[in-house]
């Protein structure tokens, strides 16, 4: 099959894919500070700007705290703003990410997922994005370079929809996706321009004829109501996401159906729940196990915030066992994805499947198919579900 | 699916040739991945790069542990303990080495029981004015794989290199391709 001829695929890394999305979106302002493994995103994008392929003002700031501060200022002024970061960079900008969310700034944040220090480590896990899960952003997780591109485009529309107006974080796994070259189908520039359209800010500070106060104090009289509005904005993101995926499918042929990918899920007895790139390896594992007659499937959320609790509970109803694989740990508790799914099953299902939690891949530990197959074997053997398990750890 | 592992030293262009190979494979209608060994890059330190090539979409996003082919860009890595060039290489796989030594000498050095092919890529690179042997080895590997055309590789090179570097690298590519054709003929004659 001549793949390239049919779909016009180019071999690019996930970081380059995100940078191409940024080039086509052509944001007004990109304040950014480099950090591994995000750096090739902004490096590639800066080359595009320098080559005159887009008209963005890049602001080279002195830290991620400043990057997000500049992003908030530019967004409030009425600009379309994108930034990118990883790990410690996200940790440093987090103080202002909360403010961006509360000021309803539709900033898109590309994240090359990387473990948080310490010990210092540059490799992938999801501790950085999970640290930011309560900030008030929509959080999308890409499996591969193609999704890293597609989700950046959808994120721009999702963030700027007047029913939503919150930052959207788009996660791609550090190195595994940011630095790996894979076939990616890029949409024509004009198609993207039409899809993302022009940003129409509600209350731009530069609209001097209609002056507004932004970012004021909110004491016990109003803080609570403002938080409720943010919760409503995240809820509204659910239906906007569903609308956008229809529109995106019509122009790209690529469908992000619902809130999660269901791979061989409908007749599965055993289910792996997993985010991001390792889900690809899980699909290969599932194919191998299916050939041996094991009824196993995958549920891979694209959307972590807002969390699609009801939809996931419905999809897992009647399953014999479910293993949630977390690439982050809430130390002193269990994995964040597991905790969400455990709550969802408890809330919506009278009879829950056996539910397991595995922590995997911290600090970039590789997770090959054999390890994922061992999780399915554990489920078949009905191992103790009250024990938190670690996958691929030397004990 | 064919899985390939490249061994080089930081600065010798292992990552570059792995990406060129994947790009040429894609042009040829295959699916392909290219990824470097992830980590801080240091000039001169042993580095690895990887390729997967398949007729189907590639979903695996883990490392490669049992490659079908290992390409060694720098002969000094054969003796470097930390490089472990034949680790996991399939017994029926192929070890392609840039060296002045013979396949028998490489077998004695590595203990690898499968097919060993050697060529003096460094001399070939020098003969065309290239600083590194990586593109010579890329040409040799393409000849070995058989399903990557020289034309597709040349198109990838044309996209990756500026005018001056392109001529040198095209010559290096063809030198590797031709040298391997001769090596394979010798292998067949002695088999």
CA angle at A132 for the pair A385 and A357, rounded to the nearest 5°: 10
Distance from CA of B56 to the nearest CA of A (A): 9
B30-43 average pLDDT score = 86
Per-residue confidence (pLDDT) for residue B191, from 0 to 100: 61
Per-residue confidence (pLDDT) for residue B75, from 0 to 100: 94
Q: Using CB atoms, pick whichever of A143, A181, A284 lies closest to residue B35.
A: A181
The band of A341, judged by pLDDT with boundaries at 50, 70 and 90, is very high
> Which residue of chain A comes nearest to B66, CA vs CA?
A368
Counting one residue from chain A and one from chain B, the pairs whose CB atoms sit within 8 A come to: 75
> Which residue of chain A comes nearest to B20, CA vs CA?
A11
Cα separation values, A61 from A50, A64, A68, A71, B133, Å: 17, 8, 10, 11, 40
Which of B19, B35, B56, B62 has the most A C-beta neighbours within 10 Å, making it the best mutation to test the interface with A? Answer: B62
Cβ distance A61 to A70 under 8 Å? yes
Segment holding A298, helix H or strand E: strand A296-301
pLDDT at A5 over 70: no
B26-41 average pLDDT score = 88
Quote the ipTM score: 0.94
Give the tens place of pLDDT for each residue, B54-69.
999 999 999 999 999 9
pLDDT at A196 over 70: yes
Cα separation values, B145 from A314, B140, B181, B184, Å: 48, 9, 12, 12
The band of A307, judged by pLDDT with boundaries at 50, 70 and 90, is very high
Per-residue confidence (pLDDT) for residue B81, from 0 to 100: 76
* CATH of region B2-190: 3.40.920.10
> Which residue of chain A comes nearest to B40, CA vs CA?
A122
What is the DSSP code (8-state) at residue A363? G
What ranges in chain B are assigned the alpha helix state H?
14-27, 103-110, 121-128, 134-145, 150-160, 163-190
- Per CB-CB distance under 8 Å, the chain B contacts of A281 are 59-62
Cβ distance B77 to B46 under 8 Å? yes
- Per CB-CB distance under 8 Å, the chain A contacts of B30 are 3
Cβ contact A1–B55 (<8 Å): yes
Task: Report the distance separating Cα A81 and Cα A309, nearest Å.
Answer: 30
Pick B147 or A62 by higher pLDDT. Answer: A62
What ranges in chain A are assigned the alpha helix state H?
3-7, 14-25, 39-50, 64-77, 87-102, 127-131, 145-160, 189-196, 223-252, 278-291, 309-316, 336-348, 369-380
List the single range of A45-49, B34-38, B79-83 with lowest mean pLDDT: B79-83
Task: Report the distance separating Cα A159 and Cα A162, nearest Å.
Answer: 8
Give the tens place of pLDDT for each residue, A96-120.
999 999 999 999 999 999 999 999 9
> Which residue of chain B comes nearest to A181, CA vs CA?
B34
Task: Report the distance separating Cα A232 and Cα B82, nearest Å.
Answer: 55
Residues of A with CB under 8 A from a CB of B: 1-5, 9-11, 37, 122-123, 143-144, 173, 175-177, 179-183, 277-278, 280-281, 283-284, 364, 366-369
Domains of chain A listed by start with CATH number: 3-185+219-252 (3.40.50.970), 260-391 (3.40.50.920)
Cβ distance B5 to B56 under 8 Å? no
Distance from CA of B120 to the nearest CA of A (A): 29
Pick B38 or A392 by higher pLDDT. Answer: A392
pLDDT at A3 over 50: no
Distance from CA of A6 to the nearest CA of B (A): 9
pLDDT at B180 over 70: yes
- Per CB-CB distance under 8 Å, the chain A contacts of B59 are 144, 280-281, 283-284
* CA gyration radius, chain B: 15
Cβ distance A356 to A319 under 8 Å? no
Per-residue confidence (pLDDT) for residue B188, from 0 to 100: 75
The band of A362, judged by pLDDT with boundaries at 50, 70 and 90, is very high
Q: Using CB atoms, pick whichever of B22, B61, B62 lies closest to residue A11.
A: B22
> Which residue of chain A comes nearest to B52, CA vs CA?
A182
């Amino acid at each position: 099959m001549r793949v390239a001829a049919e779909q016009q695929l180019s071999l690019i890394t996930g970081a380059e894919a995100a940078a191409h999305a940024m080039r086509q979106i052509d944001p007004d302002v990109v304040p950014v500070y480099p950090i591994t493994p995000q750096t090739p995103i902004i490096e590639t994008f800066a080359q595009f700007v320098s080559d005159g392929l887009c008209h963005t003002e890049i602001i080279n700031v002195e830290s991620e705290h400043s990057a997000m501060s500049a992003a908030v200022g530019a967004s409030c002024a009425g600009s379309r703003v994108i930034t990118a970061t990883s790990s410690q960079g996200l940790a440093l900008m987090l103080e202002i990410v909360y403010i961006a969310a509360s000021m309803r700034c539709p900033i898109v944040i590309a994240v090359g997922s990387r473990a948080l220090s310490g010990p210092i480590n540059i490799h992938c896990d999801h501790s950085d994005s999970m640290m930011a899960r309560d900030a008030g952003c929509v959080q999308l997780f890409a499996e591969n370079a193609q999704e890293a591109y597609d989700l950046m485009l959808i994120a721009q529309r999702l963030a700027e929809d007047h029913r939503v107006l919150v930052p959207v974080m788009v996660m791609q796994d550090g190195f595994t996706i940011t630095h790996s070259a894979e076939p990616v189908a890029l949409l024509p520039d004009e198609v993207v321009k039409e899809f993302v359209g022009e940003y129409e800010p509600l209350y731009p500070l530069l609209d001097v004829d209609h002056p507004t106060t932004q970012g004021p104090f909110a004491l016990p009289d109003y803080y609570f109501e403002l938080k409720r509005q943010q919760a409503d904005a995240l809820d509204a993101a659910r239906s906007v996401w569903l609308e956008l995926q229809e529109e995106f499918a019509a122009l790209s042929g690529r469908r992000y159906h619902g809130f999660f990918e269901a791979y061989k899920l409908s007749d599965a007895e055993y289910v792996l729940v997993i985010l991001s790139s390792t889900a690809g390896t899980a699909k290969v594992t599932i194919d191998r196990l299916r050939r041996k007659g094991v009824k196993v499937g995958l549920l891979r959320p694209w959307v972590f915030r807002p969390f699609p609790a009801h939809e996931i509970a419905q999809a897992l109803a009647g399953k014999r066992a479910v293993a949630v694989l977390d690439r982050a740990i809430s130390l002193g508790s269990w994995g964040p994805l597991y905790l969400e799914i455990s709550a969802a099953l408890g809330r919506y299902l009278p009879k829950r499947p056996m539910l397991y939690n595995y922590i995997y891949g911290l600090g970039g530990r590789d997770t090959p198919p054999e390890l994922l197959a061992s999780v399915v074997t554990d489920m078949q053997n009905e191992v103790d579900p009250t024990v938190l398990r670690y996958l691929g750890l030397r004990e | 699916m064919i899985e390939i592992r490249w061994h080089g030293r930081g600065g010798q262009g292992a990552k570059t040739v792995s990406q060129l190979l994947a790009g040429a494979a894609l042009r040829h209608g295959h699916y392909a991945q290219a990824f470097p060994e992830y980590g801080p890059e240091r000039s001169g330190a042993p580095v690895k790069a990887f390729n997967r090539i398949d007729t189907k979409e590639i979903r695996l996003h883990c490392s490669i542990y049992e490659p079908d082919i290992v390409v060694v860009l720098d002969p000094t890595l054969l003796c470097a303990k930390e490089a472990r060039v034949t680790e996991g290489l399939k017994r029926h796989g192929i070890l392609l080495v840039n060296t002045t030594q013979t396949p028998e000498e490489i077998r004695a050095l590595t203990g690898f029981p499968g097919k060993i092919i050697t060529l003096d890529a460094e001399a070939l690179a020098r003969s065309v004015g290239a600083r590194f042997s990586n593109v010579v080895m890329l040409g040799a590997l393409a000849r070995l794989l058989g399903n990557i055309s020289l034309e597709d590789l040349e198109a990838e090179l044309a996209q990756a290199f500026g005018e001056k570097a392109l001529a040198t690298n095209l010559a290096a590519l063809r030198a590797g391709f031709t040298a391997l054709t001769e090596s394979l003929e010798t292998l067949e004659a002695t088999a």
